Structure 1
Amino acid sequence: MEPLVISVNETAKALGIGRSSVYALIKSGGLDAIKIGTRTLITIASIARLTDARR
């Protein structure tokens, strides 16, 4: 089964950007994030949507 969410660090690495840029994208609505405890996790679907929209 493929993961549905990944960490901020994994997202930054996958997109080739910094952590602060990931948080900026979350704040602007470009990425969907969920909180589980203290962890912020990014949905794979929102990463795909972001990259598809930028093509």
Structure 2
Amino acid sequence: MSDDDLIAVPEVTGRLRLGRSAVYDLIWTNRLRSITIGRARRIPYGSYRSFVASRLQEAA
């Protein structure tokens, strides 16, 4: 998957094993970037990867 690919919120909830509201909280607090296309919210894969990498770096 390329960094420019877009993934839907349900896919992010599955990957992170978080609830829908927790993912939207990450979006609303600007910890996870997203875009809106019409009524659909999408997360760039690169943003998802950056978020995970920053969490791993904090844990180290």
**Residue equivalent to 1:24:** 25
Name the amino acid aligned to 2:9.
Answer: V
5+ residue gaps in structure 1? none
**Identical pairs, percent:** 35
Give the superposed CA RMSD.
Answer: 1.4
Alignment of 1:1-55 (within 5 A): 2=2, 4-55=5-56
TM-score normalised by L of structure 1: 0.89
TM-score normalised by L of structure 2: 0.82
Partner Cα distance (1:49, 1:5) in 2: 14
- Runs (4 or more) in structure 1 with deviation over 4 Å come to none
5+ residue gaps in structure 2? none
Partner Cα distance (1:5, 1:30) in 2: 17
TM-aligned CA deviation for residue 43 of structure 1: 1.0
Q: Report the structure number with the largest CA radius of gyration.
A: 2
Name the amino acid aligned to 1:36.
Answer: I
